[in-house]
Structure 1
Amino acid sequence: MWKQDFTPIADQLWLSAIVALIPILYFFWALAVKRMKGHVAGLTTLLLAVVLAVIAYRMPAGKAVMSVTQGAVYGLLPIGWIIITSVFLYKLTVKTGHFDIIRNSVVSLTEDRRLQALLIAFSFGAFLEGAAGFGAPVAISAALLAGLGFNPLYAAGICLIANTAPVAFGAVGIPIISMEGPTGVPAMEISKMVGRQLPFLSVFIPFYLVLIMAGWKKTMEVLPAIIVSGVSFALTQYFTSNFLGPELPDILSSLVSIVALAVFLKYWKPKSTFRFATESEVAAAGQVARATQRGGEVFRAWSPFLVLTALISLWGIPQVKAALTGHYEGTNGLLKLVNAIGVHLTFMPPVPGLNNQILNPSGQPIAAVYKLELLGAAGTAILLAAVVTKFIIGISWKEWARTFVETLNELKFPIITIASVVGFAYIANSSGMSTTLGMALAKTGPLFPFFSPILGWLGVFITGSDTSSNLLFGNLQKVTATSIGMDPVLALAANSSGGVVGKMISPQSIAVACAAVGLTGKESDLFRFTIKHSVFLIILIGVLVYLQSTVLSWMIP
């Protein structure tokens, strides 16, 4: 048995906090200054954290190692499994050419650059964020806009700014799902709170995008379209995040936004067609992709993601979820059958040498188990969608399997990164380092609600991932909030919501965007384009969270 000590360095909180901060500062330095590859930075940070846990916090080495394995397993399932299957589904549509039909169905709706930015950068980018995430939204959307005639720097910058509102629910909700393990707070509760913050941003971002592009007067010309795009997205985002869970807000909100704006454009057109001053009208018109596919072909191309939406929705129903994980106690025959299967595909073995072997300061043992829900994992629903997609798009089993192997190969390093970052999150929690930092941050007192999203913003700036930021700082946010009387769910949501506007200045995101539009080597130009917008938006979110912790506390679920 080992008891946690949150002030192990000379019994001083600030000295202990400095030591606890070392792995985080190293991680920042490794990525932002040394530009290490993500998996190298993650693994070396993890190693440093283990060394400090053993030497400075006097945690037994065996317990430290087993804590890392607990986190790594959680990083692989459910997090890694969702990433693999969602990217796999997306790659199937690309490989068979159906993604081109999806793209053309969007870009053929209008020649106005303002409306193209709404459809592609905002709505379509959000769809890609929800279905695949991890660089795909910015890369594809920016390349598409550049191909249509947008200035490459503008194309990249606009897509980075647009890719804010959907980030917290990206890759089928993984940034929010990932916080449940280290913090113990249900993902559904965090999803509800994020869904009461980001819709305000979702309404504002379409207006802000067009304002950046065209100025005030030209923005007012398309205000009706902006309202349709933003409000339809925000309302769907709120309802899905609060009543369905974190997996579907991006996918459903983007689909509703695209359809709503497309239908609206059938009956309404702006007074003038806006193009950039640097492009000729003839050239601009010639670059617009005109879809010639019939409605049936477009529906078929979108069908894999419609199937995905249906299956994820089914997996999210509480009774179905309980049956899939072997915890169903009802009388429904079909669910009882699924429950019988789920019992044999759900494993929660205790972590050897760690389960109930660590005592918190009050002397209570801390449980530690490997959580392996194979059938109930959202990734399994996505894999089933990929199986159905095989028949929809008419791909052979051989090509289907080859694409899956290609996906595994492409994602091996991101998966290692995720596993190492989750491992670090767990060792930071079990050793007490996160709690030490939370106790130090609590000294900011009543101002912490304002700074809470800024912590998530800094985390995403460095890691390039809302998921990684949530894993790094989730428990810290929870501990700090509890110590100052702030609702922990609000703090966790603030970390994720603040993180979304850090994505546009993340070195990784900027590198992806520049590569997509042929601006490699011009990363500093793009950073200067996005930094002022990122700072402005994080201040807005900080103010919102502060108000929600005080006068708007009724918004907390």
Structure 2
Amino acid sequence: MYTQNLPLESVGWSALVAAVPLLTVLVLLGVFRWKAQWAGLAAFVVSLLVAVFAYDMPVGMTFDAAGYGAANSVITVLWITFNAIWIYNLTVETGHFAVLRRAFAAISDDKRIQAIVIAFSFGALLEALAGGGSPIAICSVMLVAAGFQPLKAAVIALLADTAPVAFGGMGNPITVLGTVTHLNPDDYGAMTGRQAPILAVLVPFLLVAIADGPRALKQVWPAALTAGLTFGVTQFALANYWSYKLGDIFAAIVSAGAVVALNRVWQPSDAPAGRAVPPVIAGGSVDHDPVAERRAGRPDGTDPRADKVLAFAPYLIVVVLFSLAQIGPIKEWLAKGTNSFQWPGLAGIHAGDGAPVATVFAVPWASTAGTLLFVSGILTAVVLRVGPLRALQVYGATLRQFGWAIFTVLCVFALSYVMNLSGQITTLGIWLAQTGSLFAFLAPLVGWFGVAVTGTDAGSNALFGGLQLTAAHQLHASPILFGAANTTGGVLAKMISPQNLAIGTAAVGLVGAEGTLFRRVFGWSVVMLALLCVIVYLQSTAVLGWMVVGG
């Protein structure tokens, strides 16, 4: 038996103790420039020490909690990311990725506009369907292929992924929040739709500035405004008037279509004069190699219509498969393929109020996004005519590609679950809730901390959803507002979470540069978080109170 408690009589000092593991990983990454795997491992060890010596959690139970977290990371992150990158690697193997890249380049010769379409719009579609780091990995590689330096490509992909995360995975963070708090998820979705789109409008401008410096804003602002505004308005409309689960899908498609339409009537003043023509493929007398031709491009700079269709086919397969999985009868049938069991050694954990803490390990092997992506990968291999043996070899290469990133994800999830189950996370929340009316300003910060530790917005809502509800009741405030703030605040930590940094560096071949990447994105994360904190605080007052659902 173990009951969560405060390690010290003072809530403030207890919170400082509880924050040590999180501060450890942030300082080691940002100040001492440690590699993510070692920073994650060090913070994990610190969390074990804090749990055992400060919180008096039994040693065996502490390691059980770590194993529980590591196992969850396999289902919620690794299984998803492996299969998403496998699909991408299949397109590279067959040369269809080069065709896809040229199709995106055909939208505009301007790399800054390509960054908007690829990282912002296409990345949002990937986040809507799969999440789990797949947009960061796939879009980073696509940006490198478009001509961006690897580190800059990873920065752009990480920052772009903030816009869709709140509604990612078919609205999974919102659904989890509703489950944890037993309130209507549609209300949370609507309220989040009155916060997140404001930030989404700004993101394309930041991407342009990162891609080519602040001066580029004067030249490309129409495209940035078009993408951000159409994305934000569509996201707001879907979340408030239809279904929050479909918000990102339609926002991604509408924003991409709007930029394409704009590009037909407008070009940046400093746009390139002409499109580069692919070199002629040497060896015309040898046997025709369609894969080599797709990779190098045809001499006339065009691609056959069949190749273009096949280049987009993998993502169309993903869209169709995930959409089918949301249809009532199919969704119910897939949900039956779930195995659950009580994680060994954790049944005796209780919260401070005596309520048992749920430690059931669920394996939704049929309905999880990772499995749907795996099936999509099999269908992709069939469509692209990749044989079973070659597809398996590509999968093995995909696993080797991640290397230390796998270890990082396992460590960080083990860290987050030790902090959560020992009560360290709850301590931080209690301390923040004691700030009274100022808590409305700090509510997004709670979600930000949650994602910084877990790497997922759904995980943050699972950790802090109940805390936000309790704080709202104590302060006689709107629980819908605070819950949405937790969701929206969390998306701004997506770019600094160690596992996403590891995924980004692994995708572009810079494993070990997580600290450098962290410093590149940390400032943007903090600035946008500060803006959101002001917005949420004003929404808790008469100034913007009219925006609150049910207010």
Q: TM-score, normalised by structure 1?
A: 0.76
- Once the two structures are TM-superposed, the CA of residue 441 in structure 1 deviates from its matched residue by 1.3
Once residues 98 and 21 of structure 2 are traced to their aligned partners in structure 1, the CA distance between those partners, rounded to angstroms, is 44
Q: Secondary structure at the match of 1:204?
A: helix
- Once the two structures are TM-superposed, the CA of residue 393 in structure 1 deviates from its matched residue by 0.9
Q: 1:287 to 1:513 in 2, by over 3 A?
A: farther
2:327 corresponds in structure 1 to: 317
Deviations 1:147-171 (A, max 9, x none): 9xxxx9987876665453235566x
- Once the two structures are TM-superposed, the CA of residue 250 in structure 1 deviates from its matched residue by 5.0
Letter in 2 for 1:3: T
Q: Secondary structure at the match of 1:35?
A: coil
Letter in 2 for 1:351: W
Asked whether the equivalents of residues 453 and 495 of structure 1 are also in contact (C-alpha less than 8 Å), the reply is yes
- Of 133, 140, 143 in structure 1, the residue corresponding to residue 135 of structure 2 is 133
Q: TM-score, normalised by structure 2?
A: 0.77
- Once the two structures are TM-superposed, the CA of residue 489 in structure 1 deviates from its matched residue by 5.8
Summarize the alignment of residues 84-103 of structure 1 with structure 2, pairs less than 5 Å apart. Answer: 84-103=82-101
Once residues 350 and 502 of structure 1 are traced to their aligned partners in structure 2, the CA distance between those partners, rounded to angstroms, is 30
- Once the two structures are TM-superposed, the CA of residue 274 in structure 1 deviates from its matched residue by 2.3
Q: 1:372 to 1:404 in 2, by over 3 A?
A: same
Q: Secondary structure at the match of 1:133?
A: helix
Letter in 1 for 2:357: I
1:26 corresponds in structure 2 to: 24
- Once the two structures are TM-superposed, the CA of residue 262 in structure 1 deviates from its matched residue by 2.3
Deviations 1:51-103 (A, max 9, x none): 22222211222322222222222221233221221121122112211111111
- Of 344, 360, 364 in structure 2, the residue corresponding to residue 369 of structure 1 is 360
Once residues 355 and 494 of structure 2 are traced to their aligned partners in structure 1, the CA distance between those partners, rounded to angstroms, is 39
Asked whether the equivalents of residues 174 and 458 of structure 2 are also in contact (C-alpha less than 8 Å), the reply is no
Once residues 437 and 353 of structure 2 are traced to their aligned partners in structure 1, the CA distance between those partners, rounded to angstroms, is 26
- Of 458, 472, 475 in structure 1, the residue corresponding to residue 463 of structure 2 is 475
Deviations 1:361-410 (A, max 9, x none): 33333332111111121211111111111121111111111111222233
2:444 corresponds in structure 1 to: 453
Q: Secondary structure at the match of 1:105?
A: helix
Q: Secondary structure at the match of 1:348?
A: strand
2:414 corresponds in structure 1 to: 423
Q: 1:168 to 1:31 in 2, by over 3 A?
A: farther
Summarize the alignment of residues 83-232 of structure 1 with structure 2, pairs less than 5 Å apart. Answer: 83-112=81-110, 115-127=113-125, 132-141=134-143, 144-146=146-148, 162-168=160-166, 172=169, 176=173, 193-206=191-204, 213-214=214-215, 218=219, 223=222, 225-226=223-224, 228-232=226-230
- Of 508, 528, 541 in structure 1, the residue corresponding to residue 532 of structure 2 is 541
- Of 57, 62, 68 in structure 2, the residue corresponding to residue 64 of structure 1 is 62
- Once the two structures are TM-superposed, the CA of residue 457 in structure 1 deviates from its matched residue by 5.2
RMSD between superposed Cα atoms in Å: 4.3
- Of 420, 429, 437 in structure 1, the residue corresponding to residue 428 of structure 2 is 437
Letter in 2 for 1:479: L
Deviations 1:145-196 (A, max 9, x none): 449xxxx9987876665453235566x5799489769967899666665444
1:406 corresponds in structure 2 to: 397
1:49 corresponds in structure 2 to: 47
- Once the two structures are TM-superposed, the CA of residue 286 in structure 1 deviates from its matched residue by 3.8
- Once the two structures are TM-superposed, the CA of residue 411 in structure 1 deviates from its matched residue by 3.2
Once residues 48 and 532 of structure 1 are traced to their aligned partners in structure 2, the CA distance between those partners, rounded to angstroms, is 26
User: Which moved further from structure 2: 124-133 or 309-318?
Assistant: 124-133
Once residues 76 and 507 of structure 2 are traced to their aligned partners in structure 1, the CA distance between those partners, rounded to angstroms, is 30
Percent of paired sites with the same residue: 33
Q: 1:88 to 1:309 in 2, by over 3 A?
A: same
Q: 1:382 to 1:536 in 2, by over 3 A?
A: same
Q: 1:350 to 1:113 in 2, by over 3 A?
A: closer
Q: Secondary structure at the match of 2:34?
A: coil
For structure 1, the residue ranges without an aligned partner over 5 or more in a row are: 276-280, 327-341
1:329 corresponds in structure 2 to: none
1:353 corresponds in structure 2 to: 345
1:302 and 2:302 matched: no
Query: Aligned pairs, how many?
Result: 514
User: Which moved further from structure 2: 206-215 or 96-105?
Assistant: 206-215
Once residues 152 and 70 of structure 2 are traced to their aligned partners in structure 1, the CA distance between those partners, rounded to angstroms, is 39
Once residues 90 and 200 of structure 1 are traced to their aligned partners in structure 2, the CA distance between those partners, rounded to angstroms, is 31
Asked whether the equivalents of residues 182 and 475 of structure 1 are also in contact (C-alpha less than 8 Å), the reply is no
Q: 1:489 to 1:319 in 2, by over 3 A?
A: farther
Asked whether the equivalents of residues 101 and 145 of structure 2 are also in contact (C-alpha less than 8 Å), the reply is no
Q: Secondary structure at the match of 1:371?
A: strand
Deviations 1:197-220 (A, max 9, x none): 32222233335656865567645x
1:555 corresponds in structure 2 to: 549
Letter in 1 for 2:549: M
1:8 corresponds in structure 2 to: 7
Once residues 111 and 48 of structure 1 are traced to their aligned partners in structure 2, the CA distance between those partners, rounded to angstroms, is 49
Q: 1:216 to 1:477 in 2, by over 3 A?
A: same
Letter in 1 for 2:421: S
Q: 1:420 to 1:141 in 2, by over 3 A?
A: same
Q: Secondary structure at the match of 1:354?
A: coil
Q: Secondary structure at the match of 2:548?
A: helix
Asked whether the equivalents of residues 501 and 537 of structure 1 are also in contact (C-alpha less than 8 Å), the reply is yes
Asked whether the equivalents of residues 468 and 486 of structure 2 are also in contact (C-alpha less than 8 Å), the reply is no
